[in-house]
Amino acid sequence: MRHRKNYERDDETFSADAYTVNLKWAAGVAWYVLGWETEPDEDTEWSGYENRTGRIICVMVGDDEHFAFDPEDVTPLEREAYCGECGQVGCGHENTI
């Protein structure tokens, strides 16, 4: 079972279609930014609120596993620059169908 992370959507700050992640292991794949990572604090059970951690939650295009990154590690990516099926940056598969 995959671990889901809690997040708060922020479509205004993260308005690009997708992003690249500037980390070696994550390069070459497009990522969707879901929003700001949140964590419960000692009052969450009573208040229902969670606090932002300062990191963002992303998923690779074509996948559903959540990863947390620092916001400065992501760069906006134009829609034409990646494949919406496999998520690979530079893949022309969608243009050949």
pLDDT tens for each residue of 8-17: 999 999 999 9
| DSSP-H helix ranges across the chain | 44-47, 93-96
Q: Residue 41's pLDDT is what?
A: 85
Check: CB of residue 94 under 8 Å from CB of residue 85.
yes
Give the pLDDT confidence of 11-40 residue by residue, as tens digits.
999 999 999 999 999 889 999 999 999 988
Spatial distance between the Cα atoms of 9 and 68, rounded to a whole number of angstroms? 14
Q: Are strands 74-77 and 50-60 parallel, antiparallel or unpaired?
A: unpaired
Q: Which residues have CB under 8 Å from 62's CB, separation 6+?
A: 84, 85, 86, 87
Q: What 3-state class would DSSP assign to 26?
A: helix
pTM of the entire structure? 0.84
Q: Residue 71's pLDDT is what?
A: 97
Give the pLDDT confidence of 49-71 residue by residue, as tens digits.
889 999 999 999 989 999 999 99
Residue 88, pLDDT > 80, answer yes
